[in-house]
Structure 1
Amino acid sequence: MIDRLHYISQQPANGTHITAIKAALKAGAKWIQLRVKEQPKEDILEYALYVGELCNEYGAKLIVNDHPEIALKAGAYGLHLGLDDMPVNQARAIVGKDMVIGGTANTFEHIRQRVAEEVDYIGLGPYRFTKTKQKLSPILGLDGYAEIIKKVKLAGIQTPIIAIGGIEQHDISAIMQTGLYGVAVSGAITYATDAETMVKQMYQQLNSTYLLEV
């Protein structure tokens, strides 16, 4: 089951990825993507092993960004691959048939590519400008999402699609009304004054929109 709320780790001003992930878990986040860039693989593996233990403690799922070997060694629930990362079929050969694999997309053509690659979910974005990604694809916004999801429905695509990229709590209801499955956030939780309330309200928005659709 793919969660509707994905937390993507980032290093806060006063702390590490571990600091941010601990806070997100304590706040109630259940889907944690460890996204560490420009650090040695040995360090990322250490993070992943420790975060995997934390996720087990809190009943959450660990997703490792970019590194299939690390995801496998850490016993992660899933792996997330960007468009410029290792091809999905190669990663699948490393992690096996049971690990969840998600893939990034920016266009409807990317979504068709990801579906053909048999990913388990798709991260579609960016919604708006975000500092957490250096090579930012063209921004989609609400209109971009609506247009792409219309094509997705016409094509009969059932793969869960997650909005990603600079998303704040006040964006969620409008984003979900375009027909997306869920959202991925980072700073909205990392820098929240009251992260527990923030996560609770996000889940309420996501679930209420889903129930209205059903």
Structure 2
Amino acid sequence: MTAPASPTAPARGVYLITPDEPDTARLLARVAPLLAAGPTWLQYRNKTASAALRREQALALQPLCAAHGVPLIINDDPALAGEVGAAGVHLGGSDGDIGAARALLGPDAIIGASCYDQLDNADRAIAAGANYVAFGAFFPTTTKITSSRAHPDLLRQSAALGVPRVAIGGLTPDNVGPLIGAGADLVAVVSGVFAAPDPVATLRAYLARFQEASA
């Protein structure tokens, strides 16, 4: 299958996802030092916020991300992504139509799709216009309820998709090495970084696993 033209082909590293933080000033204070440490993308995700708070926080994050050269991706809401000028959107299995998001956000937007533990989901997402796919959960996670459990073989089997593949779900610096070795281009983390005693040092530990894999 031929992938759509994509600005994400070189994407590799840590895909940082925000926690459910109700205080916008605190959210920015938590995110800023991490952006300086070099994640590849930042996804704004807040499942407990009102629409007004999500808009406020996304608007606040966009210039911060731009200042650090880190693309901002909005979870589940193409309209909000377009409103705040974000780089793209991430859609779950029941969170909207990929083709409609592509039509709204344009050919240069980063549009990702949750594909859980199914390669067929990834094929369909790419055909619809996604330019990255996410598989998981690879390990138990407390961030969200999930019934799917992906295996590293899925990353090997998806090598020919032609788009970046994201591994997600219970990832730590100690367990991501085999997933990167199996073909994960990015590792997505929420609490693995934000709940760590030293988030910046922990983010750098994830990044070190990519350096080790390339050595």
- Secondary structure at the counterpart of residue 101 of structure 1: strand
Q: What residue is the counterpart of 1:68 in the other structure?
A: 78
1:165 equivalent to 2:169? Answer yes
Q: Is the 8 A contact 1:164 1:184 kept in 2?
A: yes
Q: Is the 8 A contact 2:12 2:185 kept in 1?
A: no
Q: Mapping of 1:13-28 within 5 angstroms?
A: 17-28=27-38
Give the counterpart letter for 1:31 in structure 2.
W
Q: What residue is the counterpart of 1:10 in the other structure?
A: 19
Q: What residue is the counterpart of 1:203 in the other structure?
A: 207
1:90 equivalent to 2:100? Answer yes
**Given the superposition, is the C-alpha separation of residues 13 and 92 from structure 1 closer, same or farther in structure 2, using an over 3 Å criterion?**
closer
1:129 equivalent to 2:135? Answer no
Of 137, 152, 156, the residue aligned with 2:158 is 152
Q: What residue is the counterpart of 1:52 in the other structure?
A: 62
Q: Is the 8 A contact 1:189 1:199 kept in 2?
A: yes
1:181 equivalent to 2:213? Answer no
Distance in 1, Cα, partners of 2:38 & 2:13? 13
Could you state the TM-score of these two structures normalised by the residue count of structure 1? 0.86
Q: Is the 8 A contact 1:21 1:32 kept in 2?
A: no
User: Number of paired residues?
Assistant: 204
Superposed CA offset, 1:111-150 (max 9, x none): 111221231111111112222213x13122xxx121x234
Could you state the TM-score of these two structures normalised by the residue count of structure 2? 0.85
Superposed CA offset, 1:149-185 (max 9, x none): 34324xx321111100111111121111212212111
Superposed CA offset, 1:8-58 (max 9, x none): 111369985444323432444341100111422221111101000111222
CA shift for structure 1 position 196 = 2.3
Give the counterpart letter for 1:7 in structure 2.
L
Distance in 2, Cα, partners of 1:19 & 1:189? 14
Q: What runs of 5+ residues in structure 2 fail to find an aligned partner?
A: 1-7
1:109 equivalent to 2:115? Answer no
Distance in 2, Cα, partners of 1:20 & 1:166? 20
- Secondary structure at the counterpart of residue 89 of structure 2: strand
Of 12, 19, 31, the residue aligned with 2:41 is 31
Q: Is the 8 A contact 2:81 2:88 kept in 1?
A: yes
Q: Is the 8 A contact 2:172 2:206 kept in 1?
A: no
- Secondary structure at the counterpart of residue 32 of structure 1: strand
Distance in 1, Cα, partners of 2:21 & 2:45? 13
Percent identity between matched residues is 25
Q: Which moved more, 1:39-48 or 1:9-18?
A: 9-18
Q: Is the 8 A contact 1:71 1:79 kept in 2?
A: yes
The root-mean-square deviation of aligned C-alpha atoms, in Å, is: 2.1
Distance in 1, Cα, partners of 2:67 & 2:155? 36
Distance in 2, Cα, partners of 1:78 & 1:97? 10
